[in-house]
Amino acid sequence: MTYVMVDIESDGPIPGDYSMICFGAIIVEPDLDRTFYGQLKPISEKFIPEALTVSGFSRQDCLAFPEPKPVMEQFKKWLQSNSRGRLLFISDNNGFDWQFINWYFHHFLNENPFGFSSTNLGSLYKGMEKDTFTSFKHLRETKHTHHPVDDARGNAEALLKMKDMGLKISLK
């Protein structure tokens, strides 16, 4: 199994009507040195300026990004060359991140190498602590910058600390 921590930035709340403008992924392992970063040209005329501002990009910046299909193809190839066995998608907010990655994979490549499920990092921590009001975010080392590779790295650091705390996961 290969755990892949993913984070995305978008210009709105849902894929299709709005666009995923960039995403980052990192293989969860002690070194945290295998990363992927993709920028994607918008697929829609619609965007919410406040959502775009979070990423630090302007609409003009995004319009110059690469077409989504080749980026998703590169991501699929990266996943294939950097994983063993089943791929496990995990993110801080899988309800948000998963919907964009899943939609883009299916829309542009007719398949999602992650399959049909994802895992929420926060829910794992809440279960470990038996407290639905707790947060894992204090376990991050890398600052949460809204650059998706930084954010995925911080979340992967938290998952590795959760493993050290007793969470049973296999990173082989």
The residue-averaged pLDDT of 68-86 equals 96
Q: Is residue 58 part of a domain?
A: no
Query: Is position 47 within any domain?
Result: no
Structure token pair of residue 35: 């990363």
HSE, side-chain direction, 13 A CA sphere, residue 137: 8
Task: Give the global pTM.
Answer: 0.96
Structurally, the chain folds into a number of domains equal to 1
Label each residue of the chain as H, E or C.
Answer: CEEEEEEEEECCCCECCECEEEEEEEECCCCCCCEEEEECCCCCCCCCHHHHHHHCCCHHHHHCCCCHHHHHHHHHHHHHHCCCCCEEEEECCHHHHHHHHHHHHHHHHCCCCCCCCCEEHHHHHHHHHCCCCCCCHHHCCCCCCCCHHHHHHHHHHHHHHHHHCCCCCCCC
Task: Point out the catalytic residue in the list 106, 107, 144, 146.
Answer: 146
State how far the Cα of 53 lies from the Cα of 168, in Å rounded to an integer. Answer: 38
Q: What is the pLDDT at residue 132?
A: 97
CA neighbor of 35 nearest in space, from 65, 4, 10: 4
pLDDT tens-digit map of 1-58: 899 999 999 999 999 999 999 999 999 999 999 999 999 999 999 999 999 999 999 9
Share of the chain above pLDDT 70, in %: 99
Q: Looking at the domain assignment, is residue 16 inside a domain? A: no
Amino acid at 77: K
Whether residue 38 is contained in a domain is answered as no
- Could you tell me if residue 158 is inside a domain? yes
Q: Is the CB of residue 100 less than 8 Å from the CB of residue 75?
A: no
Over pLDDT 90: what percentage of the chain?
97
Q: Is 146 one of the annotated active-site residues of the chain? A: yes
What's the pLDDT at 171? 83
**What is the mean predicted confidence (pLDDT) over 125-141?**
97
Residue 55 within a domain: no
Range of 115's domain? Answer: 2-7+25-32+67-164
The predicted model gives 70-85 an average pLDDT of: 96
Q: Is residue 18 part of a domain?
A: no
Contact (CB, 8 A) for 19 and 55 = no
Confidence of residue 110 (pLDDT cuts 50, 70, 90): very high
Residue 46 lies in a domain: no
Across the range 91-115, mean pLDDT stands at 97
* pLDDT tens-digit map of 141-168: 999 999 999 999 999 999 999 999 999 9
